[in-house]
Amino acid sequence: MFPSPECCDTCLNSSQIEMTMSAISSYSDWMSQLPVELHNIPLFNLAIPGSHDSMSYDLDKNSSIIEPDGLKKFSKLCCMRKIVRRWATTQDENITKQLNAGVRYFDLRIARKPNDPKPTRLYFYHGLYTRTDVETLLRDINTWADKHPKEILILALSHFKGFDRKIQRDLHNHLIHFIKSLFGNKLLPRKDSPTLKSCWDEGKNVILSYDYPVGQHPEMWGRIQYFYGNSMDPITVESKLCQYLEKPKPMKGFFVCGLNLTLPEDARILKYIIRLCDNFPNVVNRSLPRMLQWVKEQARKTPMNIIASDIATRDQFVYTVIQLNISKCETHKGI
């Protein structure tokens, strides 16, 4: 176990940290290049970069509007669908590029289109449906995982919108069977304290979080707690995250600190979406440097695990999160 975060300032040597970071030659394989001191600590104690609404780069402008409820009635208006896409796009790079950039946690929100002629075909969504279906995307991730066996991926499948009561059991069974068949032995079963080394030794590099009762499937992990600020104001987001992070946690496990900004779901949303020369990635890009500075400061006070962001491939987000691990390592050496 590492010493408390409060002692970091007195123990860290910034030149040592920079030297260690420079030794990481490629973020596509950053986990395998971490110092050996970090190989045996629980993954719950590592700082892991993640992307919020990971598939939102792929939204289909021809899709009907799924959310917010107040805009659904405008689905037939092409201009409104374009506005929704502009403000629902939280990522601007595809999953393979996110993986190559070092992102290791993926927020994958699943939905079924009503009246789809293929009854088990599923998509992702954020305001609109995606163009790419779930099985195609998971195959791409599996191909990447095959080529990077020491990079541990955490896939969080959730929401399952449109899973009507009559068919939801069949849909879940189909999806779970597909996942188990696709990833096979790469899936890490639920266990108390997985580490990088234990995953490598067992040949496992995919952790599948499934937000639906899956007790009979040991390869599936339960829902990962996701803390977020529910605001477009970075100061409010930081304040709420501090409150969450400073509360004692009842048990060991993964948890997400979401840096993402959140649009209002009521009429206040108009304040943002009527800005014809702006979009959501630009808003996030203006706030992200401040948020990353907050992450550095907060990591000295409270534990951090998965840190998820919008536009996760921009503005040194991945570098900042990985650097938290190097800081821990240097602190550990200094004690």
Active-site residue among 126, 148, 159, 177? 126
Tokens encoding 64: 């009907």
Distance CA 31, CA 104 (A): 9
Specify whether 52 is catalytic. yes
Active-site residue among 52, 159, 172, 332? 52
Long-range contacts of 291-294 (CB under 8 A, 24+ apart): 291/234, 291/237, 291/238, 291/259, 292/316, 292/317, 292/320, 294/234, 294/238
Query: Torsion angle, CA of 110/223/166/117, rounded to 10 degrees?
Result: 20
DSSP conformation class of 162: T
Cβ neighbourhood burial of 133 (10 Å; 0-12, 13-18, 19+): middle
Tens of pLDDT along the chain (335 residues) come to: 333 444 444 344 555 556 556 657 689 999 999 999 999 999 999 999 999 999 999 999 999 999 988 899 999 999 999 999 999 999 999 999 999 999 999 999 999 999 999 999 999 999 999 999 999 999 999 999 999 999 999 999 999 999 999 999 999 999 999 999 999 999 999 988 999 999 999 999 999 999 999 989 999 999 999 999 999 999 999 999 999 999 987 678 999 999 999 999 888 888 888 887 899 999 999 999 999 999 999 999 999 999 999 999 987 999 999 999 998 776 555 44
Annotated domain spans of the chain = 5-334
Specify whether 126 is catalytic. yes
- The CATH class of 5-334 is alpha beta
pTM of the model: 0.92
Tokens 């240097």 correspond to: 330
**CA dist list (Å): 281 to 28, 248, 331:** 23, 33, 35
